[in-house]
């Protein structure tokens, strides 16, 4: 029974390739690589050490090398580019699609980028000149210049000739876009619909004028919301005059979805985005350390809070037993509420319209969970310490902590979003630490004053 | 200057629609809705209350209602389906694409599903009979039966006629698949390439035989790895004889990517997957409570650990000041390591090949972070308490906690993955709580014995 029909690579292949490189069997190696898909060769290269990586890159024609290079994870790609001379890079850039070329150039040190732009053909440097000014995470920053556009007055025959002329240049052609005399986007036709009508039909008669496009300076996050909402495979990009300037393809849409998720997750946990491909311990440490140090300072502040209650603690050491409960419950409740809000904002499912509804939902959830956890905690601790009065105080305290943590957890990302700060920061160690301290303050304040009143 | 060219909905539109429904102006309302895209109408419906939702659904023809219904978030969709009678649902199912019809039927109570399958036309019930047996999260569970396949011996003219015959049935047609006499998948041709060759050309002469397909019983997670790796827009699905049985389209690929991310994030935080659309406080509470109760019991266990050191605490109450630091640092370090591993496993960037490399990387990162945080902690606490000897003990303890938490944090998701359990569980409250307890044990054990030795 077949499993998934994937090619992929395995340990055996890696060993074989390493052997072929060591014994200098170029031609056999080239034969193997030519049979493989670019993404698989990229994966293979990531598993090799530095010299062997370069050996394979040098073995390939510039076009093949380019297709593979763009599939390699950024940290490894950066290392390879460092080792290639400007001439090799220029040759590769020359063969890439415009968006990939711009991405590659954009990642190089500016001095080096400048020299490579000077070295490539005029048409390529002109394309780069069009794409490089856009911010990296805008629609313009992810679009390509390879697309097919046709005038509204043209016939299907004209369209077919345009497609033929651009056959090699434009891969993955499923739609052609229709423009008016001022290059403004006015419609779309699928290739399928194009071929089913008589060739003398005018394009404007069969085009769909109800077209979704993205503004070139729109944030890439808005672009993927569009793609997901309307199930778009390709998105046309327009300038401020609604003139067609580029095309965003499905693979770039999926890459951006993954990047945005990586970014959110990395904020949530305080790690490097796409850390998995990073090979430098130093870079990983540098990304993680600030969050840990923030947590450390938060913890030291919490220690200061506890010290304020030193006298009560010396009287009743039992109070300190429940620090972990208080912190864990405040922390978990806050994270739950914040995560749902952050994810909802990222996928676009929370708009500014339903913020009040969300907070009200969180409050009710927190009240129920607070009640249940509080009662369980009160009974268990009362039984354990044979002191149900103290248990009741603990129950009340935990209830309050859960309710406050739930509301704060959902409110902070919403507030950050309103302030145009990435709401994912609201799920990270900063907020967790603040929650810890607040929970301790509530706990120590309530427990010490209530036990005082009772006794 | 135009912003994004999205339609979307706003508060004004919602108010207007509510007014039109209240005043019974059906025709004006229908005119507005007919102008909108299905995804926007779905969004609008989600913002209305129950009666108004049904009013709109009943206003539409079955085909339009179906297109909108499949775009509505699952919890709201479920509520609407509950209120529709079997006849309305049958009419809607009749008009849906096969994959959407199967999803809708699959979500109904089995008795109701059975009755609706009996009520629809034979060709529809036959299609449902083909799709429903596949597990929901398999390639077969997300594929549709609408695709175009052609025999290898046929000509381009034959292919064009097949496309024409299936023009209405198969939306988003970019590729046709080539099969042999036994219906086995042997190649693929893009529509673009098809139209640029003479019509008498045989299909097999221009097809690309190097085709990626998914096995019908493969997990949907493997399917999206394929799509992302090879930048596929559509994926053909085959049975165990390599016979073509269905097609997975780009919108379903993106939905699955989102679903898998939602699932991971919900595990990480202990919330309901896609909780944002859920309207029942009870369901949200039910999803979150187990994680909170697990945290509660963990906290009570931690209290038990602390109680064991009661004598030392009474001697030196200062020890309790640093519980928050110890727990926060152990927790944050563990989450950082676990998150990277979980995300790497989800995106397929961590295979079984590089587990050792990953653990070694985490160990080095934890050693550096442990050293830096330990030293800072030692100096600050030593200065604060005017006791540098105690500060040194704290520094050493924190260092050890960070190193152990880092290694455990990365090892647990890898172990879960090997045991075929969702590794995302390794980032959730369970592991965080275990980490808390372990950190406390190390802290209390080391600090009490070291201060004992010194004094």
Interface residue B117 vs chain A (CB under 8 A) = no
Interface residue B263 vs chain A (CB under 8 A) = no
Interface residue B7 vs chain A (CB under 8 A) = yes
pLDDT, tens digit, 9 for 90 and up, residues A5-17: 445 788 889 999 9
How far is B400 from B423, CA to CA, in rounded Å? 25
Would you say residue B143 lies in a domain? no
Q: Rounded to 10 degrees, what is the CA torsion of B236, B239, B242, B248?
A: 0
Interface residue B336 vs chain A (CB under 8 A) = yes
* pLDDT of res. B273: 79
The answer to whether residues B410 and B359 touch, using CB atoms and an 8 Å cutoff, is yes
Domain count, chain B: 3
pLDDT, tens digit, 9 for 90 and up, residues B230-259: 999 999 999 999 999 999 999 999 999 998
Under 8 Å CB-to-CB from A336, ≥6 apart: which residues?
A: A406, A409, B269, B270, B271, B288, B291, B292
Q: Are B197 and B54 contained in the same domain?
A: no
Q: What is the mean pLDDT of residues A190-207?
A: 94
Record: contact B320-A323, CB cut-off 8 A? yes
Beta-strand relationship, A235-238 and A244-248: antiparallel
Cβ-nearest to A292 among B214, B373, B384:
B373
Interface residue A238 vs chain B (CB under 8 A) = yes
Would you say residue A450 lies in a domain? yes
* pLDDT of res. B435: 84
Which 3-state string (H, E, C) describes A164-233?
A: HHCCCCCCCCCEEEEECCCCEEEEEEEHHHHHCCCCCCEHHHHCECCCCCEECCCEHHHHHHHHHHCCCC
Mean pLDDT by 10 residues, chain B (455 residues): 53 91 92 92 91 92 91 91 94 94 94 94 95 96 97 96 94 96 96 92 95 95 93 96 97 93 84 80 89 89 91 90 91 89 82 76 93 96 93 95 92 88 77 84 90 70
Neighbours of B301 (CB within 10 A): 17
Record: contact B329-A265, CB cut-off 8 A? no
Task: For residue B344, list chain A residues with Cβ-Cβ distance below 8 A.
Answer: 276
Measured over the CA atoms of residue B240, residue B245, residue B250 and residue B256, the dihedral's sign is negative
Would you say residue A139 lies in a domain? no
* pLDDT of res. A455: 61
Smallest Cα–Cα separation from B247: which of B127, B137, B95, B99? B99
pLDDT, tens digit, 9 for 90 and up, residues A91-132: 999 999 999 999 999 999 999 999 999 999 999 999 999 999
How far is B67 from B42, CA to CA, in rounded Å? 9
Q: How far is A231 from chain B (nearest CA, A)?
A: 5
Q: Are A299 and A403 contained in the same domain?
A: yes
Task: For residue A403, list chain B residues with Cβ-Cβ distance below 8 A.
Answer: none
* pLDDT of res. B232: 95
Task: For residue B440, list chain A residues with Cβ-Cβ distance below 8 A.
Answer: 324
* pLDDT of res. B1: 34
Would you say residue A161 lies in a domain? yes
Q: B215: part of which helix (H) or strand (E)?
A: strand B214-215
* pLDDT of res. B104: 95
Q: How far is B276 from chain A (nearest CA, A)?
A: 6
Output A266 or B58, whichever has higher pLDDT. Answer: B58
pLDDT, tens digit, 9 for 90 and up, residues A41-74: 999 999 898 899 999 999 998 888 999 999 999 8
The CATH number assigned to the domain holding B307 equals 1.10.357.20
Q: Are B289 and B424 contained in the same domain?
A: yes
The CATH number assigned to the domain holding B93 equals 1.25.60.10
Would you say residue A141 lies in a domain? no
The CATH number assigned to the domain holding B241 equals 3.10.580.10
Residue numbers of A between 62 and 91 with CB closer than 8 Å to B: 73
Interface test with A, best of B343, B346, B384 (most A CBs within 10 A): B343
**pTM listed for this prediction:** 0.89
Q: Are B352 and B295 contained in the same domain?
A: yes
Domain that holds residue B122: 11-137
Q: Are A307 and A440 contained in the same domain?
A: yes
Look at residues A213, A231, A248 and tell me which one is the last residue of a structural domain: A248
Q: Where are the alpha helices (DSSP H) in B232-387?
A: 250-269, 281-308, 310-315, 318-321, 323-347, 355-385
Q: What is the mean pLDDT of residues A184-212?
A: 94
Look at residues B82, B105, B137 and tell me which one is the last residue of a structural domain: B137
Interface residue B17 vs chain A (CB under 8 A) = no
Asked if pLDDT for residue A405 goes beyond 80, the answer is yes
The answer to whether residues A327 and A438 touch, using CB atoms and an 8 Å cutoff, is no
The answer to whether residues B18 and B52 touch, using CB atoms and an 8 Å cutoff, is yes
Q: Are B132 and B157 contained in the same domain?
A: no
Task: For residue B8, list chain A residues with Cβ-Cβ distance below 8 A.
Answer: 229
Which 3-state string (H, E, C) describes chain B?
A: CCCCCCCCCCHHHHHHHHHHHHCCCHHHHHHHHHHCCHHHHHHHHHCCCHHHHHHHHHHCCHHHHHHHHCCCCHHHHHHHHHHCCHHHHHHHHHHCCHHHHHHHHHHCCHHHHHHHHHHCCHHHHHHHHHHCCCCCCEHHHHCECCCCEEECCCEHHHHHHHHHHCCCCCCCCCEEEEECCCCEEEEEEEHHHHHCCCCCCEHHHHCECCCCCEECCCEHHHHHHHHHHCCCCCEEEECCCCEEEEEECHHHHHHHHHHHHHHHHHHHHCCCCCHHHCCCHHHHHHHHHHHHHHHHHHHHHHHHHHHHCHHHHHHCCHHHHCHHHHHHHHHHHHHHHHHHHHHHHHHCCCCHHHHHHHHHHHHHHHHHHHHHHHHHHHHHHHHHHCCHHHHHHHHHHHHHHHHHHHHHHHHHHHHHHHCCCCHHHHHCHHHHHHHHHHHHHHHHHHHHHHHHHHC
Would you say residue A5 lies in a domain? no
Tokens of A305: 């809070």
Q: Are A210 and A294 contained in the same domain?
A: no
How far is B188 from B207, CA to CA, in rounded Å? 5
Interface residue A277 vs chain B (CB under 8 A) = yes
Q: Are B15 and B115 contained in the same domain?
A: yes
Cβ-nearest to A332 among B291, B321, B340:
B291
Interface test with A, best of B242, B243, B292, B310 (most A CBs within 10 A): B292
Task: For residue A321, list chain B residues with Cβ-Cβ distance below 8 A.
Answer: 303, 306-307
Interface test with A, best of B67, B148, B222, B321 (most A CBs within 10 A): B321
The answer to whether residues B429 and B291 touch, using CB atoms and an 8 Å cutoff, is yes
Interface residue A199 vs chain B (CB under 8 A) = no
Q: Are B369 and B404 contained in the same domain?
A: yes
Interface residue A440 vs chain B (CB under 8 A) = yes
Q: Are A129 and A153 contained in the same domain?
A: no
Task: For residue A1, list chain B residues with Cβ-Cβ distance below 8 A.
Answer: 240
Under 8 Å CB-to-CB from B292, ≥6 apart: which residues?
A: A329, A332, A333, A336, A369, A373, A402, B270, B429
For all residues of chain A together, what is the average pLDDT?
Answer: 90
Task: For residue B267, list chain A residues with Cβ-Cβ distance below 8 A.
Answer: none
Task: For residue A197, list chain B residues with Cβ-Cβ distance below 8 A.
Answer: none
* pLDDT of res. A2: 38
* pLDDT of res. B3: 37
Q: What is the mean pLDDT of residues A228-244?
A: 96
Would you say residue B260 lies in a domain? no
Q: Rounded to 10 degrees, what is the CA torsion of A246, A252, A253, A255?
A: -150
DSSP label at residue B196: T
Would you say residue A262 lies in a domain? no
Interface residue A262 vs chain B (CB under 8 A) = yes
Q: Are B183 and B122 contained in the same domain?
A: no
Look at residues A134, A157, A176 and tell me which one is the last residue of a structural domain: A134
Instruction: Output phi, psi for B351, to 5 deg.
Output: -110, 180
Smallest Cα–Cα separation from A193: which of A156, A241, A161? A156
Asked if pLDDT for residue A433 goes beyond 90, the answer is no
Q: Where are the alpha helices (DSSP H) in A200-322?
A: 203-206, 220-229, 250-269, 281-308, 310-315, 318-321
Asked if pLDDT for residue A367 goes beyond 60, the answer is yes
* pLDDT of res. A454: 64
How far is A12 from A392, CA to CA, in rounded Å? 64
* pLDDT of res. B321: 93
What is the SS3 assignment for A115? helix
Chain A residue whose CA is closest to B71: A229
Q: Which residue matches tokens 């979704």?
A: A212
Q: Are A121 and A183 contained in the same domain?
A: no
């Amino acid at each position: 029974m077949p499993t998934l029909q994937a090619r992929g690579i395995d340990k055996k292949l890696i060993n074989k390739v390493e052997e072929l490189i060591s014994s200098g069997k170029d031609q056999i190696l080239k034969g193997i690589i030519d049979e493989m898909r670019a993404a698989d060769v990229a994966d293979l290269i990531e598993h090799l050490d530095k010299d062997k990586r370069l050996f394979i890159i040098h073995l390939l024609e510039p076009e093949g090398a380019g297709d593979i290079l763009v599939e390699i994870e950024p940290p490894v790609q950066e290392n390879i580019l460092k080792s290639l001379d400007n001439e090799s890079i220029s040759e590769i850039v020359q063969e890439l699609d415009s968006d990939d070329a711009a991405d590659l150039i954009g990642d190089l040190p500016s001095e080096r980028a400048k020299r490579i732009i000077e070295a490539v053909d005029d048409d390529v440097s002109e394309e780069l000149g069009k794409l490089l000014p856009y911010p990296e995470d805008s629609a313009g920053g992810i679009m390509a210049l390879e697309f097919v556009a046709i005038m509204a007055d043209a016939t299907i025959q004209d369209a077919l000739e345009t497609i033929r002329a651009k056959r090699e240049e434009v891969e993955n052609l499923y739609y052609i876009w229709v423009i008016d005399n001022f290059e403004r986007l006015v419609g779309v036709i699928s290739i399928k619909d194009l071929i089913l009508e008589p060739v003398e039909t005018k394009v404007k008669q069969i085009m769909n004028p109800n077209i979704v496009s993205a503004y070139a300076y729109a944030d890439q996050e808005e672009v993927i919301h569009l793609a997901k909402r309307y199930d778009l495979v390709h998105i046309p990009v327009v300038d401020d005059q609604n003139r067609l300037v580029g095309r965003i393809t499905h693979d770039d849409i999926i890459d951006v979805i993954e990047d945005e998720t990586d970014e959110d997750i990395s904020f949530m946990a305080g790690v490097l985005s796409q850390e998995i491909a990073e090979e430098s311990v130093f870079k990983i440490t540098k990304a993680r350390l600030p969050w840990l140090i923030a947590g450390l300072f938060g913890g030291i502040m919490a220690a200061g809070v506890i010290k304020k209650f030193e006298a009560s603690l010396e009287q009743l050491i039992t109070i300190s037993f429940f620090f972990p409960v208080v912190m864990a419950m405040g922390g978990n409740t806050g994270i739950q509420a914040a995560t749902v809000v952050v994810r909802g904002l990222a996928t676009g499912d929370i708009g500014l319209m339903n913020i009040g509804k969300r907070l009200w939902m969180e409050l009710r959830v927190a009240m129920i969970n607070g009640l249940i956890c509080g009662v369980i905690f009160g009974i268990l601790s009362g039984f354990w310490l044979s002191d149900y009065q103290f248990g009741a105080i603990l129950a009340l305290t935990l209830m309050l902590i859960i309710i406050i943590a739930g509301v704060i957890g959902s409110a902070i990302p919403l507030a950050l979003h309103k302030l145009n700060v990435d709401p994912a920061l609201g799920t990270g160690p900063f907020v967790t630490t603040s929650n810890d301290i607040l929970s301790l303050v509530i706990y120590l304040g309530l427990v010490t004053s209530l036990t005082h009143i009772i006794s």
